[in-house]
Every structure is written in C-alpha cells, then in structure tokens.
Amino acid sequence: MDAQLKILGPEFSTFVRSVMIACEEKGLNYRYGMKVNDQQVKLGDETHLKYHPYGKIPVLILEDGRSICETAAIIRFIDNEYPGYELFPTDLFARAQVDQWANLIGIYIDQAFVRKFLLEFLFPKGEDGSVRMDKVEAAIPEVNRAIATLTKQLDGQDYMCGDQFSAADIMLAPMLDYLARHPKGAELLAEEVKLLAYLERVRQRPSCQKVLI
Ligand SMILES: N[C@@H](CCC(=O)N[C@@H](CS)C(=O)NCC(=O)O)C(=O)O
C-alpha cells in the first residue's frame, strides 16, 4: 500500500495506538507524531483545534490534507477505505455490536482504566508531584467494574464481539495492555484468567506485536 497517512498524536497514547493497529491490520504506510507539514502542533493550539474541535488526539490526516478525528470513526473509515483484514463484520447487527463495544470501550472503559486510574500514576498531580493515592483508591471500584464488564462480554468467545478480532478489540487492546503492564493494574487483573488469556491472544497478532511495545 502506498498511502502515506499521518496520525496526529504521540505513539504512547492509547487511542493513537488503536489507530496504528488498524493501519497495521490493513498493511498501510503511516507516520505519527505532533508535527504537521513540519510544524510542531501543541495539544489544543489553533492548528490542533482546526482538526479536532475539542483538541483531542488522534486525528488521521490523509495525503490530500483532509482529516478525520475520533478514534472509532477513524477506524471505521480505515476499514471502509482500504482492503485487507476486515475490522467489522458484514452482518448489520454484528456490525452494530462492534460499534457498540467500540463506543463503550472508548468512553467508559477508557475513563475507568486510563483517565481515572493509570493517568494518576503517569501524570501525578499531588503535592510535589506525588501520586494522589486517594484518587487511585477511589478509582479502583470503577476499574473492577470495567474488568467485570469485559469478562462477562468475553464469556464463551475469543474476542470482544465473537470469534473474530474486530475494531472493538482494537479499541481495547492498548488500554488493557497498559493496565496489565502497570504493577497496580496487574494486581487488579491477577485473578482474571479469562481477560488475561484474551490479552495474550490479542498480543499475539502481528499488528499488536508491532504497536504494543
Ligand atoms: N473521544 C476521543 C478521545 C481521545 C482522547 O481522549 N485522547 C487523549 C489522548 S489518549 C487526549 O487527546 N488527551 C489530551 C487532552 O485531553 O488534552 C477519541 O476517541 O479519539
């Protein structure tokens, strides 16, 4: 594939990673980072706001300059536009299920795993840069609820929406991978045999091996 796509956003972002995995699944050529046309873009600056009205990453910028924001929409576009492994099933109800789970993961699972829990460790906002352990403790019930939600959904199937790896797994993989790599997250996942087996299955995919490093 010759397409030279640009993903606006740093590679450590979970949502950027999801878009990278989608590109890998399709065998697409892509770059990532916070530069557009050799100009550094800052989160929320004027240039960024032209691409995303709320100053979020990722944004997918096409070769002709057109762009798409919001991770689930980007992944859907990539799937519709490019040949290769299909990230959504063809059956309309099954497609809606993948959309449903991509949204649930992009909103609620992200809040529980990433925004309220992991970011407390990665960007500590306590006095003198300390981790706000009260916030971490307060976040744990939501992490556990998210783990239970995902475990229930995985009952009797290999992936989030059946036996095929889909866009829903692409949304989840970077978040779950980060949670499992963090010592405190690993503690919360320690007894979650089904979810850990799922994570290992997903990590084995060549696309994820390239991105989840
Ligand atoms: N709904 C957005 C969420 C994207 C998002 O929250 N991205 C984070 C990075 S992982 C971000 O832009 N954070 C910067 C900020 O909120 O200022 C999507 O699905 O793309």
- The angle, 0 to 180 degrees and rounded to 10, between the axes of the packed helices 71-81 and 167-181 is 130
pLDDT at 21: 98
pLDDT tens-digit profile of 71-89?
999 999 999 999 999 999 9
Round to whole Å and give the CA distance between 48 and 205: 32
User: What percentage of the chain exceeds 70 in pLDDT?
Assistant: 99
> Is 207 close to ligand 1, i.e. is its CB under 6 Å away?
no
Q: Which atom of ligand 1 is nearest to the CA of 14?
A: 10
pTM exceeding 0.95: yes
Check pocket membership of 14 for ligand 1, CB cut-off 6 A. Answer: yes
CB 71 less than 6 A from any atom of ligand 1: yes
Mean local confidence (pLDDT), 176-202: 98
Report whether residue 122 contacts ligand 1, using a CB cutoff of 6 Å. Answer: no
CA-closest candidate to residue 145, choices 104, 98, 177, 201: 104
Atom of ligand 1 nearest to the CA of 16: 10
Please name the residue whose Cα sits nearest to atom 2 of ligand 1: 70
Å from CA of 156 to ligand 1 middle: 32
According to DSSP, residue 114 is labeled: I
Helices (H), 40-182: 46-51, 71-81, 92-104, 119-122, 133-153, 167-181
**Residue 213: its pLDDT value, please?**
87
**Residues composing the chain:** 213
